[in-house]
Structure 1
Amino acid sequence: MIMAKINDKYLISLLVLLVIAQTGLIFVLSKQARKNYIDEKNLTTHYSYFSGLDFYEEAYKQAEGQITVADEKIYGGILPHHLMVEDKIAAFFTGIENNDYETIILIGPNHFLSGKSDIITSQAKWATPYGELMPDLDLTRNLNDSGSASIEENPFINEHSISGLVGFIKKNFPNARFAPIIVRPETTTKESEQLAQVIKNNIDADKTLILASVDFSHYQPVAVADWHDEKSRNVIENFSFNQVNNLEVDSPASIYVLLKYLELVKAQNSKLIFATNSGKLINKPDEPTTSHNFYYFTKGEKENNSLINFLFFGDIMLDRHVKEIMNKNGRVDYLLKNLAGGEKRFFQGIDVIGANLEGAVTVGGQHYPPEISIDFAFDPKDVAQLKNYGFSFFSLANNHILDQGQAGFTETQKNLGELGFDYAGCADRKVDECSVKIKEINGVRIGFLAYSMVYGVLDEDKVVEQIKSLKKETDFVVVNMHWGVEYEQQARSNQIALAHKMVDIGADIIIGSHPHVVQEMEVYKNKPIFYSLGNFIFDQYFSRETQEGLGIGLSIDNGKIAITLLPFQSKVSQVELMAGNDKQKFLNWLAESSKVSEEYKKQLKVGKLF
């Protein structure tokens, strides 16, 4: 009996303890729930970039006649936050306003690198002229809890990639909830893919619109911007994830997340709605510009026509007076900073950047005996800096590659290989295995050949054999030729005859160097021949012609060639693009000097060959 009473006391005590523990657990859980729950009355408020109604009303008025009404469900889109094109932004949203969206997700760049995380979201409401745009608290909380984005409010206060568009969203989708996301440039592929997956797992795709707020080419003249945008559009339309992070846009990570999400929901059919550029809109094509591309995405398959692009220059020499200038002012960065522009954007979004490397690459740039009067050697540290600008291929076939002897040539091959550069070319007049390089880019095999014939003639039978062989092995053949007479702007008859012969047997384009000035070009059997691109980086400061050069932006799309001409000038080895009258005068000269049809002359004068 006594034991029973004792057991009852223990049982009662145990029950009391369990009740207390459970109450504490409920308290802890309810505390956590209260932490995650936000009363909409207490939300932080952010503000649309423009608070006045007049801006938006004028934008929608101008949009009339530009609207493409979507006849299918739109699952995603790309549009700019550059409000110079406010009419097209209004047209973009109006074209899809009949879609019933419960949530709109807007992903854009973190321009000011604010906040603590690579990926940041907000639970604030947005005050706009059309009322308050309310947050999707469940989605943003899930993004935060999953670790794919952190909730931080301060970074959104000045972030125009979001604030610039919220007014339009509220106007066209007054009942939709909103989830803004901003991403840093260093956001990794893994982080982007995780974010896309978490979004997909936490929404109803048929009731959600996900948008990338992205401006395209920045700081570049129209000719460069158009060329870069051509590549960007192709990468987007083909969902080429391995190339997204190299695009010349202001937020590759935003594009990546969008495309990965669209892949997950099988909405990869793209439709380009608008493609514009600020330089065209204000008729200032040679000033720094911003370009804009607008896309809708519907259910369906992606494109399957990968575009490949190249940028070719003439002679690079990093010794003698150029070396003195680099040592004094900051090495290669000093030479290229004007051409590269803001964030080195001129060199972005390009598959292969190449030039003729006019000398040996030896340890410390050493010169080996016997030294001669014109004797070039480059320090690998200087050449390595070209990698920072996207250079990846060099032609070594020239009259200076043996300035440091055969040992210097062998050392050059070793050093370039260790630095990660591709190369082709043997010594002057030599045709051998070193003349050839095959590179595969996105499933397309490109054959590079490099020859030099400065001090004599080539064995043309061997050249023919190599080109024929390479034509069978590859999809496109590029021939780099070091030839001609210094300072002459017209090709000699032996250059022309050999060029025609090489095209006849399979060369798709010929890129010339050595004369140190730009020579005429030719289109033979629909194949471009550039007899000399002139100097790129050199120290021949004694004439205008030796300080002018031509860059070739080559695009290949399903075997079709398009070329953007990029004339530049060098001022004591600092390179910058030509503009205005100087550019037009150069293009006019090239057109009139070249052996091309009247149609091609017209194209040369506007700097674009098709």
Structure 2
Amino acid sequence: MSYTHIGKRYIRLLSLVLVIFLAVSAAATFWVRSLEAQTAFSQAILQLNPYHYTPKGEIPITPQGREPENPFTLPPFPADIRGGIFTFASSSQDMFPSFAKELAGQHPSVIVILGAAGSSYSQTKAYVTDFDFVTEYGLLRSDRKIVNNISEEFSLEKNDSVFVQNQEMNFFIPPIAKFLPKARIVSVLLGESFSEDSLRELAKKLAEELPKDSVVISSVQYPKYDNASVSFFQKEKALHALRNFSFDMQEPKMLPEEYLFLQLMEQLRSQKVLYEGNSSNEFLFGDGEKLEQVMISLVNFGDLMLDRNVANHIKNFGSEYPLSKITQPQKGLFVGQDILAANLEGPFADTRRATSKSIAFRFEPELIPMLTQYHFNLFNLANNHSLDMGSAGFEESKKNLANAGIDFYGKPLQISKTDSVFIKEISQKKIAFVGVDDTLTPLRVSDMESLLKDLRSEVDYIIINIHWGVEYKNISNTRQQMLAHTFIDAGADMVIGHHPHVVEEMEIYHNRPIFYSLGNFVFDQYFSKETQEGLSVGILLDGKSISVYPFPLKSVESQVDLMDENESKLFMDDFLSKSKLDGNEYKDFHFEIEE
């Protein structure tokens, strides 16, 4: 073979290699430019009109708009993260990108996102999408198989418009796309009235469908009411429900996304709290058992009187008149408490009887349904007006309360386990309510010490309601203080006083709260500002601490309401200045007292 022939073959081979190289280069350049064009097109859509879909079944996600202000470092965890629940507070915005980055080390194949559908959509439906999500970091794909399986079985509506500009999607998707681009997404947005039965069944189905390495995330919104102190009170209850997977709480009622998240974590057996963020704005869960901690909630009011001018107002304006303002839903105080109590300053006697007393009260039994309507379930009867209609009237009152399902305790002139004590079991904890009176005749201290020491071995908590002190005095006297200290030394956990018709100071003695007088709740003493102010006390018991929330009240013509923010601040500044708190701090509208 000649050198000329070999040279020609070599040249042809080089030419072929060159052609292949140029073809591959052109294809690669085209692919890169096509990808750049697609990304640029998606970004243009995001910038120009985030409400329009891309033409390929994709949902544009609005960029978060800011990097975390305070980059967050998560602590090491003893187990993999299986779920996270977040508020939309700034701390969560700083923390969630760190969470997504941490999650990248687990390589979850599927991430479930739960959120609210928003008020523009049906509140009885749940929505899913099998569209992919376009983000500033690239495309994040939906898991179409799981989405189709759950949507078919539960008739979940595929409505992609629900997911456009959705708060949860804009919050969660970008960091996931940045740090977990290979994860597939199952997103469910829920109407506020989607049924709990359906949520439980949906949780079971999702647990069956999800790979074992899946992670579930959800938003949560803590309750907000007109009154900030009530909001904090109800938030503490909501946090307990989160930590302990308490599904049966009446108020604040769980939102569907929170309920579904907890049900799903229960199905996946991932109920152990691995992390709780500042202000409890974030929770992370891993494999393990839930906390077994109970919480008991009580709200106690002062003197409740339904005769004289109060009865006249009720006659003119209806039975709901005295409580129509304070019981409005946005006030948030009258629903969901284990105990809603007051001092009943008079009997629900069947008839009015002649009496030598200059001031003698009798309440119409027809008013009892109004009290049950507002969820009152416990009254103290140990006071100087319970016998105004005689012993027969007192017994009639107890009968009428019992027939309405309202519990009671205490009897004037008596200190005994039979007459003075009511024991109620709540969440497997026994609470002894003890009612005594020190106004008609001074009580015998030794009798109380004996009673309390006897009860201490039988119950978990002892709460005393006592009628005592001097009317219209806003500072307790030495006898009140002596009695309160004696009761606590003998085993009482809390002392709540009434009778002065004005609010007196509080004291924390040996880590036990004393309220010397809650003042009037519903009354007709219009002659002074002080007699038209009162205090309600919210109490949360969890076995570790006693949370005490004072709620200042105001009354106009026997119609009671919570004080507004400015009124509450002025009232509490004065109240705290004369109280003995033993170094305990009033923070976030309450005292946290170690048991």
TM over 0.5: yes
Q: Which amino acid aligns with 2:332?
A: R
Determine the structure 2 residue equivalent to 1:209.
Answer: 215
Aligned partner of 2:250 among 243, 246, 250: 246
2:595 counterpart of 1:608: no
Residue 220 of structure 1: how far off its partner (Å):
5.2
Residue 314 of structure 1: how far off its partner (Å):
1.1
Distance 1:584 1:578, change over 3 A: same
* SS of equivalent to 2:576: helix
Within-5 A mapping of 1:140-151: 140-147=147-154, 149=156, 151=158
Determine the structure 1 residue equivalent to 2:81.
Answer: 74
Residue 449 of structure 1: how far off its partner (Å):
0.8
2:164 counterpart of 1:177: no
* SS of equivalent to 1:439: strand
Q: Which amino acid aligns with 1:561?
A: I
* SS of equivalent to 2:552: strand
Q: Which amino acid aligns with 1:140?
A: V
Residue 322 of structure 1: how far off its partner (Å):
3.3
Q: Which amino acid aligns with 1:264?
A: Q
Q: Is the 8 A contact 1:587 1:607 kept in 2?
A: no
Q: Is the 8 A contact 1:591 1:604 kept in 2?
A: no
2:274 counterpart of 1:271: yes
Alignment partners' CA distance in 1, 2:123 and 2:551? 41
Alignment partners' CA distance in 2, 1:161 and 1:388? 37
Aligned partner of 1:230 among 232, 236, 239: 236
Residue 148 of structure 1: how far off its partner (Å):
7.5
* SS of equivalent to 1:62: coil
Residue 77 of structure 1: how far off its partner (Å):
1.4
Q: Which amino acid aligns with 2:435?
A: A
Alignment partners' CA distance in 1, 2:218 and 2:521? 38
Q: Which amino acid aligns with 1:491?
A: S
Determine the structure 1 residue equivalent to 2:354.
Answer: 370
Q: Which amino acid aligns with 2:289?
A: E
Determine the structure 2 residue equivalent to 1:527.
Answer: 512
- Cα displacement string for residues 32-73 of structure 1 (whole angstroms, at most 9, x for unaligned residues): xxxxxxxx998876664xx3x3xx241x33141455575642
Determine the structure 2 residue equivalent to 1:37.
Answer: none
Q: Which moved more, 1:69-78 or 1:574-583?
A: 574-583
Determine the structure 2 residue equivalent to 1:300.
Answer: 288
Aligned partner of 2:574 among 580, 584, 589: 589
Within-5 A mapping of 1:64-213: 64-65=71-72, 67=74, 72-81=79-88, 86-112=93-119, 114-115=121-122, 117=124, 119-126=126-133, 128-131=135-138, 133-147=140-154, 149=156, 151=158, 160-161=167-168, 164-206=171-213, 208-213=214-219
Determine the structure 2 residue equivalent to 1:255.
Answer: 258
Q: Is the 8 A contact 2:133 2:139 kept in 1?
A: yes
Alignment partners' CA distance in 2, 1:272 and 1:333? 47
Determine the structure 2 residue equivalent to 1:285.
Answer: none
Determine the structure 2 residue equivalent to 1:502.
Answer: 487
Within-5 A mapping of 1:169-568: 169-206=176-213, 208-219=214-225, 221-242=227-248, 245-248=249-252, 251-276=254-279, 293-326=281-314, 331-332=319-320, 335=323, 337-338=325-326, 342=330, 344-347=331-334, 350-361=337-348, 367-370=351-354, 374-378=359-363, 382-387=367-372, 389-427=374-412, 429=414, 431=416, 433-568=418-553
Q: Is the 8 A contact 1:309 1:555 kept in 2?
A: yes
Q: Is the 8 A contact 1:115 1:155 kept in 2?
A: no
Residue 311 of structure 1: how far off its partner (Å):
2.2
* SS of equivalent to 2:108: coil
Alignment partners' CA distance in 2, 1:117 and 1:348? 23
Residue 405 of structure 1: how far off its partner (Å):
4.0
Q: Is the 8 A contact 2:229 2:588 kept in 1?
A: no
- Cα displacement string for residues 414-447 of structure 1 (whole angstroms, at most 9, x for unaligned residues): 3433433332222455645132111122222111
Alignment partners' CA distance in 1, 2:302 and 2:201? 44
Alignment partners' CA distance in 2, 1:270 and 1:510? 35
Q: Which amino acid aligns with 2:222?
A: F
Q: Is the 8 A contact 1:238 1:304 kept in 2?
A: yes
Alignment partners' CA distance in 1, 2:81 and 2:106? 7
Q: Is the 8 A contact 2:321 2:559 kept in 1?
A: no
Distance 1:414 1:120, change over 3 A: farther
Q: Which amino acid aligns with 2:266?
A: E
Q: Is the 8 A contact 1:429 1:459 kept in 2?
A: no
Q: Which moved more, 1:445-454 or 1:551-560?
A: 551-560
Alignment partners' CA distance in 2, 1:46 and 1:414? 65
Q: Which amino acid aligns with 1:527?
A: R
* SS of equivalent to 1:96: helix
Residue 477 of structure 1: how far off its partner (Å):
0.5
Normalised TM-score (structure 1) = 0.77
Distance 1:138 1:560, change over 3 A: same
- Cα displacement string for residues 469-488 of structure 1 (whole angstroms, at most 9, x for unaligned residues): 22111011101111222111
Q: Which moved more, 1:135-144 or 1:325-334?
A: 325-334
Alignment partners' CA distance in 2, 1:70 and 1:317? 56
Q: Which stretches in structure 1 are left out of the alignment for 5+ residues? A: 1-39, 277-291
Percent of residue pairs bearing the same amino acid type: 31
Distance 1:528 1:273, change over 3 A: closer
Q: Is the 8 A contact 2:532 2:556 kept in 1?
A: yes
Q: Is the 8 A contact 1:69 1:94 kept in 2?
A: no
- Cα displacement string for residues 301-354 of structure 1 (whole angstroms, at most 9, x for unaligned residues): 322333333222212223443344456556447735357562x43445543232
Distance 1:299 1:186, change over 3 A: same
- Cα displacement string for residues 119-166 of structure 1 (whole angstroms, at most 9, x for unaligned residues): 444445455544554433322332233337555556656864555544
Q: Is the 8 A contact 2:123 2:191 kept in 1?
A: no
Q: Which amino acid aligns with 2:209?
A: N
Alignment partners' CA distance in 2, 1:328 and 1:294? 51
**Count of residues paired in the alignment:** 540
* SS of equivalent to 1:194: helix
Q: Is the 8 A contact 1:490 1:519 kept in 2?
A: yes
Q: Which stretches in structure 2 are left out of the alignment for 5+ residues? A: 1-52
Alignment partners' CA distance in 2, 1:135 and 1:79? 21
Q: Is the 8 A contact 1:82 1:215 kept in 2?
A: no
Residue 195 of structure 1: how far off its partner (Å):
1.9
Normalised TM-score (structure 2) = 0.79
* SS of equivalent to 1:304: coil
RMSD (CA atoms): 3.6
Alignment partners' CA distance in 2, 1:271 and 1:336? 44
Q: Is the 8 A contact 1:533 1:551 kept in 2?
A: yes
Q: Which amino acid aligns with 1:248?
A: P
